[in-house]
Amino acid sequence: MSFVTGTRVEPHISIAGPRDYFDLLKPRVMSLVIYTAIGGVLIAPGPINPVLAVAALLAIATGAGASGALNMWYDADIDAIMRRTRKRPIPSGRITRQEALAFGLTLAAFAVFTLGIVANWLSASLLAFTIFFYVIVYSMWLKRATPQNIVIGGAAGAFPPMVAYAAITGTVSLSSLALFALIFIWTPPHFWALALVKSDEYAKAGIPMLPTVAGPDRTRRDILLYTLLLVPAGALPYLMGFASIYYGLLSGALGLMFLVLAVRVYRHRTGDVANKIAMDLFKFSILYLFLLFAALILEKSLVHLSVLA
Amino acid sequence: MSLSPDNDGLNKAVQEPGIVLTPQQKKSRDHRNLAIALAVGFFVLLIYVVTIAKLGPGVLTHPAE
């Protein structure tokens, strides 16, 4: 006698490997988070315990990875539509949404708890808020609701240096807020340059990016306006006195190049040339942030090493 | 006479092979298990190292001294 009747439902048996779960963490975003967070660690005044700093950076990176997994859990439907995201673990069928949700929540809890016991509960709270902001405020609310999605959502990507600084010092300072401002203002021109080229893909997925909703002309104007804000924001570490004149000169030169490219994007509006110039700006924006943080990391490392010596 | 009316059903259940994993499913599961083991081991090591780092030189000081 059997208590179960009717057709037998085949159980879902996963064939996902560790690599698929690693892909859920958005490793490229995670590496950028680690990179900017190192900047946040090194601008902290006073001696830094290297073991605790590395442990804190690992916890922050894990928190960023958890946000990535939770973002993929929520955005699986639109990821399946866009060519750029179609091969992610959930749309390609290697991992189910439930598995991604459980993985993301578990990692998020471990990351926040670990940062709390390794560093302090202020930085752990900031990390928890960053995850909340990225998943709830950006992914679940703003992304599909407003063309200002990445302007406000950009805060999630700008928090890591602040979290890292708080992990080392136990406080939030103007210098860590300067790094927050730099990434926050950098985000819109960076994403909109890409969105100008990929606007069809975003429109197909129903995401209200600025070029799709307000048109490419308005987007070009806004890229230029944010770039005008970015030039002084990039120089803030020097202007506020926690970076050297060499950093100041580099930020000025890079800011000027950013501005030249933004003006070119503003002036060339049609054809393949316009797309190419927009992609040039997108690629340069990555180099811009990379070089500014590299300069900051280099000179702050030298300062810390000379103190140790 | 059988003591339990369900004996036949029980015997059948014992004889059925249940869910048999394909070689690919088994390999993926083994890899996942290994990754979890390494992650847990790394976490334990991290907490140990951080604990020692937080204690600092005081780890060698006897309370009675």
Q: Domain coordinates of chain B in residue numbers?
A: 16-60
pLDDT at A5 over 60: no
The pLDDT of residue B1 = 47
Give the end of a domain, one of A111, A145, A172. Answer: A172
User: Which phi and psi (to 5°) does residue A157 adopt?
Assistant: -75, -15
Residue of B nearest to A111 (CA): B43
pLDDT tens-digit map of A39-73: 999 999 888 899 999 999 999 999 999 999 999 99
Residues A115-140, mean pLDDT to the nearest whole number: 97
Q: Does A170 touch chain B (CB under 8 A)?
A: no
pLDDT at A102 over 60: yes
CB contact under 8 A, B21 and A17: no
Residues A286-298, mean pLDDT to the nearest whole number: 97
Cβ-count burial of B33 within 10 angstroms (0-12 exposed, 13-18 middle, 19+ buried)?
exposed
Comparing C-alpha atoms, which of A251, A260, A248 is closest to residue A231? A251
The answer to whether residue A11 is domain-embedded is no
Q: Which chain A positions have a beta carbon within 8 Å of B19's beta carbon?
A: 11, 13
The residue among A4 and B64 whose pLDDT is bigger is: B64
Give the end of a domain, one of A143, A172, A201. Answer: A172
CB contact under 8 A, B50 and A51: yes
Q: Are A179 and A154 part of one and the same domain?
A: no
CB contact under 8 A, B53 and A51: yes
Closest Cα of chain A to B31: distance in Å? 6
Q: Which chain B positions have a beta carbon within 8 Å of A95's beta carbon?
A: none
CA dihedral A158, A163, A166, A168 (to 10 degrees): -120
CB contact under 8 A, B34 and A114: no
pLDDT band of residue A288 (cuts 50, 70, 90) is very high
Q: Are A136 and A179 part of one and the same domain?
A: no
The answer to whether residue A7 is domain-embedded is no
The pLDDT of residue A283 = 97
CATH number, residue A83: 1.10.357.140
Give the end of a domain, one of A145, A172, A199. Answer: A172
How many domains, chain A? 2
Gap between the terminal Cα atoms of chain B: 79
Q: Are A161 and A233 part of one and the same domain?
A: no
Q: Are A152 and A24 part of one and the same domain?
A: yes
pLDDT tens-digit map of A239-279: 999 999 999 999 999 999 999 999 999 998 888 899 999 99
Residue A7 DSSP SS3: coil
The answer to whether residue A9 is domain-embedded is no
Rounded Cα distance between A305 and A308, Å, is 5
Q: Are A204 and A167 part of one and the same domain?
A: no
CATH number, residue A189: 1.20.120
Percentage of chain A surpassing pLDDT 70?
A: 97
Residues A4-24, mean pLDDT to the nearest whole number: 81
The residue among A82 and A128 whose pLDDT is bigger is: A128
Residue A121: what residue type? W
Range of lowest pLDDT (A125-129, A291-295, B10-14)? B10-14
The answer to whether residue A239 is domain-embedded is yes
- The range of the structural domain enclosing residue A44 comes to 18-172
pLDDT tens-digit map of B44-63: 999 999 999 998 877 777 77
Q: Are A202 and A241 part of one and the same domain?
A: yes
Closest Cα of chain A to B50: distance in Å? 6
Q: Are A262 and A276 part of one and the same domain?
A: yes
